């Protein structure tokens, strides 16, 4: 009976993984289409820098539609999190399915953009990732590396969890991974004054400066190494004796 129950749980997890991936791929098409529309409306259909930024009396003039864009970005994350919540059987699995959904969605976002409009030209092409509260910019490869890492990590955890391994992440594990994520966000926003062409400095052209690799790469590599070391320990300990 235990073996049958364990097999059913495994099949459900694999089926949920497949549906989460299908949703993320389809949702990425919607996201890509919206971005194509936004670029057409605000940036003359292009994906190049500098951005069109307005300053009046020393204040950044924000288009009222930016508030709608902020709501759309929040709704996007909420939808991906909701899919993860539905797919997982406990809080940790739900978070892992969210990582899978987010990673696959982000990867196919760029794939679909290339299919639609032939952009980006290369993985080193600069992109505006988010615009609120500050512009997040970086070469396309930077969000892609994070997306691959998220999708791979979530998939590995789900796989070994269904195999009966005692997969647990302590609060300090999450704190380390989230801190690394925060550092990478800082790297994306590091050049925000230049991107927004803050008045008072003629050298702020809005053209991205060299990316803050010195912040991004150590944080990404540390997060990956921490995950690998943690997962290796789990595999060494072996299965806990059945499905949980």
pLDDT per position as a tens digit, 146-180? 999 999 999 999 999 888 888 888 889 999 999 99
- The predicted model gives 54-62 an average pLDDT of 61
- Does a structural domain hold residue 219? yes
Query: How many structural domains comprise the chain?
Result: 1
pLDDT per position as a tens digit, 6-28? 444 455 888 899 999 999 999 99
pLDDT per position as a tens digit, 179-222? 999 999 999 999 988 888 777 676 777 788 899 999 999 999 99
- Does a structural domain hold residue 221? yes
Q: Please, which pLDDT band fits residue 41 given cuts at 50, 70 and 90?
A: confident
Percent over 90 (pLDDT), the chain: 53
- Does a structural domain hold residue 145? yes
- The pLDDT of residue 31 is above 60: yes
- Does a structural domain hold residue 16? yes
Q: Please, which pLDDT band fits residue 60 given cuts at 50, 70 and 90?
A: low
Q: For the whole prediction, is pTM greater than 0.95?
A: no
pLDDT per position as a tens digit, 215-233? 999 999 999 999 999 999 8
Its domain, for residue 156, covers 2-237
- Does a structural domain hold residue 242? no
- pLDDT score, position 185: 96
pLDDT per position as a tens digit, 120-138? 999 999 998 887 778 899 9
- pLDDT score, position 33: 94
- Does a structural domain hold residue 243? no
Q: Using H for helix, E for strand and C for coil, what is the string for the chain?
A: CHHHHHHHHHHHHHHHHHHHHHHHHHHHHHHHHHHHHHHHHHCCCCCCCCCCCCEECCEECCCCHHHHHHHHHHHHHHHHHHHHHHHCCCHHHHHHHHHHHHHHHHHHHHHHHHHHHCCCCCCCCEEEEECCCCCEEEECHHHHHHHHHHHHHHHHHHHHHHCCECCCCCHHHHHHHHHHHHHHHHHHHCCHHHHCCCCCCCCCCCCCCCCCHHHHHHHHHHHHHHHHHHHHHHHHHCECCCCC
- Does a structural domain hold residue 171? yes
- Does a structural domain hold residue 199? yes
């Amino acid at each position: 009976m235990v073996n049958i129950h364990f097999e059913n749980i495994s099949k459900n997890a694999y089926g949920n993984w497949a549906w989460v991936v299908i949703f993320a791929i389809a949702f990425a098409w919607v996201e890509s289409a919206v971005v194509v529309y936004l670029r057409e409306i605000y940036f003359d259909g292009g994906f190049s820098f500098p951005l069109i930024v307005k300053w009046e009396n020393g204040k950044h003039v924000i288009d009222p539609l930016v508030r709608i864009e902020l709501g759309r970005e929040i709704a996007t994350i909420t939808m991906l999190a909701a899919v993860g919540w539905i797919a997982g059987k406990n809080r940790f699995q739900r978070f892992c399915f969210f990582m899978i959904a987010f990673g696959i969605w982000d990867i196919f976002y760029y794939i679909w953009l290339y299919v639609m409009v032939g952009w980006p030209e290369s993985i080193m092409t600069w992109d505006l990732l988010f615009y609120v509260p500050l512009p997040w910019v970086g070469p396309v490869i930077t969000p892609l590396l994070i997306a691959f890492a998220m999708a791979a990590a979530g998939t590995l955890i789900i796989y070994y969890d269904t195999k009966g391994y005692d997969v647990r992440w302590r609060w300090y594990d999450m704190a380390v991974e989230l801190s690394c994520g925060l550092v990478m966000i800082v790297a994306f926003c590091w050049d925000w004054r230049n991107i927004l062409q803050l008045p008072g400095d003629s050298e702020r052209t809005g053209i991205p400066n060299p990316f803050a690799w010195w912040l991004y790469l150590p944080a990404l590599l540390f997060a990956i190494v921490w995950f690998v070391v943690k997962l290796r320990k789990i595999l060494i300990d072996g299965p806990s004796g059945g499905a949980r």
